[in-house]
Structure 1
Amino acid sequence: MFETKIRKVGNSAVMTLSAELLAILDAKEGDTLFVVRGDDGSLKIMTHDPSVAAALEAAEIVMDENRSLLAALA
């Protein structure tokens, strides 16, 4: 578990991420992080957009199902 503080910067509230937490996330200053709320109220912090990953998985399924048709069109 990691503990961090929320502080005010201008009109925003910011959460400081330690170097250790950034290493675990494989993130660096300037990267975009995505926060998803779970059904149980938990938060998940990710370095990739989960909606993009879901769309890519769906596209891969469609391409696999229609491989011969797509090859003919190419």
Structure 2
Amino acid sequence: MVELKVRKFGNSLGIVLPKEVISRLHTGDGQRLYLIEAPDGSYLITPYDPSFEEKMAKVEDICNRYRNTLHVLAK
């Protein structure tokens, strides 16, 4: 467990992530992180956009359904 402290940054509040957390998240300065609320009410910080995952699942479905059509179009 990593303890974080909420601090004031100008007119906003924020947290500073330790170097080891940044490393484990494979993120850096200027990159986006997403705060996701879990079904149990807890929160998860992740560098992965959950809406992108949903979009990719739809793409995979379309690719599977229209495999032959896409194969012909790729020629």
In the superposition, the TM-score normalised over structure 1's length comes to 0.89
- 2:54 match: 54
Give runs of aligned pairs for residues 1-74 of structure 1, distance below 5 A.
Answer: 1-74=1-74
Gaps of 5+ in 1: none
Q: Whole-Å Cα distance in 1 between the matches of residues 54 and 8 of structure 2?
A: 34
RMSD of equivalent CA atoms: 1.2
User: Deviation per CA, 1:32-62, whole angstroms, max 9, x where unpaired?
Assistant: 1011001111111111211111111221121
Q: Alpha-carbon deviation of 1:73?
A: 3.9
Instruction: Give the fraction of aligned pairs with identical amino acids, expressed as a percent.
Output: 34
Partners of 2:59 and 2:51 in 1: CA distance:
12
Structure 1 Cα separation of the partners of residues 26 and 70 of structure 2: 36
TM-score (normalizing by structure 2): 0.88
Q: Number of aligned residue pairs: give it.
A: 74
